[in-house]
A and B are shown apart, each in its own frame.
Chain A
């Protein structure tokens, strides 16, 4: 496109006034801004003594958990929707026939590779029975790659750990589903 093209609207820069040419407004505003921030409250925290504050834990996307139903059984029905939705292919489910009459299948094994997971929350959105959810646990560490592959028991224990602080989203208040 040429500079003379009629579709270009040219905006003229405002000419500098006397104060700007004397460098004064820049001087004052620069110094006051930095001086204000120098004494203002800090946004970082002294981790790990202090935990960072998670805005709304119910919509935070941290470590996964597998929810239990009222009888304490795993809620998952092994429909593979989460594994299909997962863009990182980090969910590995082995389904088998359910021993209970209320569903046909249940996961014999349910593994999430937390190192591959990108914490996008698609699994949570795909799940038709609200079995998989993301908690607000944000500091996930381990000593080996194997340790970071979470199996069914581990994911259920995350639920046991967080169920009081973060109730299931579709049933409790504040859920996004």
Chain B
């Protein structure tokens, strides 16, 4: 009989998965509300503040809105247009949601829990679904690439020009920005010496220097690239409403659309998790969380709260940015990826490698304090020089001014001025 019962680690993992998926889904629903609030406040409106507890008159500042939103979209007709590729059309939202959720297997959502002997847990229990996974960061990036398939499949299967264009743009954009994203990440991996996200957090906590301070250029590159990877403004070209109706999910409705929208929010949450874990110290806050192993429940809770607060802060920044800047044009987007972010990411990687390589020699020659100062000063120097060089050397976009002196290939020259006038008439 006991052989049929799942083992303790299995149960623990299942509990963690339940908590994480439940928490993420609830968070995604409430982030929609926060996004609507932010949109309203930035536009000088009050925003949704009516829906509270159902069947009562209690309003709770509109905290019941996610329930109403969710019910509404679930109860809508799940319409499949006749012209779509049915198999791929149905598979796309499932692929994208499954990939976005599976990413969180390798992402820690806190530090760890102290031992619970009553349940048979004698060691510290890390708040991570797959704690032993040595390739944590690779897992995250592999699955976020699979999530791109969802977008592509959705755009392709829709058999709609807007969906198709959205999918095309999305593929080009996400492929382009995965490179700066990876370069920003490589600096952190190099400095921490591990692909495990929990080890990366521990490294920042024990040194007390978050990687955003030690590698400002890497932080900048990673931040910009994660905006593009999450397809948030100013890089939301895959679903630019003004141009593409809804982009790759134009033809979707009802619960399939809901899956797309939820996974979009999950992308943003993932990006926020990665930014906080890799560059903003994870659960670490000076003087509050400590940096050693977790001994009491209070410490465990404080670390969880600090991590959550940082993530919420980054998400609020994401949402504020949405209303702050206009969308990039596609050529500007590509210029930024290949001509600005890629060189800057390489510069960051080289700097970090040099710092890590020569740190022992520097400590021996100058003493630990000066070595640390140099290890932080050099990347900041590279940061400023790199940014200014990028600004001065790279073109800001293509020239859109009208042609005043036609060249050999311009229409006026080829056809002759009279022909052009005829065409214009």
Q: Which residues of B contact A46 (CB under 8 A)?
A: 46, 49
- Produce 1/0 per residue, A7-34, CB < 8 A to B: 0001001001010011100110011011
Q: Are A13 and B401 in contact (CB under 8 A)?
A: yes
Interface size (A, Cβ < 8 Å)?
A: 27
Q: How far is the CA of A18 from the CA of B391 in the complex (A)?
A: 7
Q: Which residues of A contact B387 (CB under 8 A)?
A: 22
Q: Does A173 contact B (CB under 8 A)?
A: no
Q: Are A3 and B324 in contact (CB under 8 A)?
A: no
Q: Does B83 contact A (CB under 8 A)?
A: no
Choice from B43, B391, B404, B420 contacting A22 with Cβ under 8 Å: B391
Q: Does A4 contact B (CB under 8 A)?
A: yes
Q: Does B71 contact A (CB under 8 A)?
A: no
Q: How far is the CA of A9 from the CA of B62 in the complex (A)?
A: 55
Q: Which residues of A contact B45 (CB under 8 A)?
A: 42-44
Q: Does A143 contact B (CB under 8 A)?
A: no
Choice from A3, A23, A44, A45 contacting B402 with Cβ under 8 Å: A3
- Produce 1/0 per residue, A56-90, CB < 8 A to B: 00000000000000000000000000000000000
Q: Does A165 contact B (CB under 8 A)?
A: no
* B266 CB, min distance to chain A CBs, angstroms: 24
Which DSSP category, helix, strand, loop or mixed, fits chain B's interface?
A: helix
Q: How far is the CA of A28 from the CA of B96 in the complex (A)?
A: 35
Q: Which residues of A contact B388 (CB under 8 A)?
A: 18, 22
Q: How far is the CA of A81 from the CA of B146 in the complex (A)?
A: 72
Q: Does B119 contact A (CB under 8 A)?
A: no
Q: Are A34 and B404 in contact (CB under 8 A)?
A: no
Choice from B43, B325, B421 contacting A37 with Cβ under 8 Å: B43
Q: Are A42 and B417 in contact (CB under 8 A)?
A: no
Q: Are B41 and A37 in contact (CB under 8 A)?
A: yes
Q: Specify which of B324, B392, B412 lies most central, judged by the most chain A CB atoms within 10 Å of its CB.
A: B324
Known contacts A13-B401, A21-B396, A44-B45; decide if A33 and B324 are in contact (CB<8 Å).
yes
Q: How far is the CA of A41 from the CA of B403 in the complex (A)?
A: 47
Within 8 A of A (CB), among B379-402: 387-388, 391-392, 396, 401-402
Q: How far is the CA of A43 from the CA of B40 in the complex (A)?
A: 11
Q: Does B297 contact A (CB under 8 A)?
A: no
Q: How far is the CA of A123 from the CA of B387 in the complex (A)?
A: 65
Q: Which residues of B contact A30 (CB under 8 A)?
A: 321, 324-325
* A168 CB, min distance to chain B CBs, angstroms: 36
Q: Are B38 and A10 in contact (CB under 8 A)?
A: no
Q: How far is the CA of A46 from the CA of B45 in the complex (A)?
A: 10
Q: How far is the CA of A22 from the CA of B38 in the complex (A)?
A: 27
Known contacts A2-B417, A3-B403, A30-B325; decide if A37 and B42 are in contact (CB<8 Å).
yes
Q: Are A37 and B404 in contact (CB under 8 A)?
A: no
Q: How far is the CA of A13 from the CA of B399 in the complex (A)?
A: 11
* B292 CB, min distance to chain A CBs, angstroms: 37
Q: How far is the CA of A45 from the CA of B420 in the complex (A)?
A: 56
- Produce 1/0 per residue, B277-316, CB < 8 A to A: 0000000000000000000000000000000000000000
Q: Does B44 contact A (CB under 8 A)?
A: yes
In the assembled complex, 8 residue pairs joining A and B whose CB atoms fall closer than 8 Å, in A order, are A30-B324, A31-B320, A31-B321, A37-B43, A40-B44, A42-B41, A44-B44, A46-B49
Closest 5 CB pairs of A and B: A30-B324, A21-B391, A22-B391, A34-B324, A30-B325
Besides A31-B320, A37-B43, 6 other A-B contacts (C-beta < 8 A) = A18-B388, A18-B392, A21-B392, A22-B388, A31-B321, A42-B46
Give the interface of A toward B (CB within 8 A).
2-4, 10, 13, 16, 18, 21-23, 26-27, 30-31, 33-35, 37-46
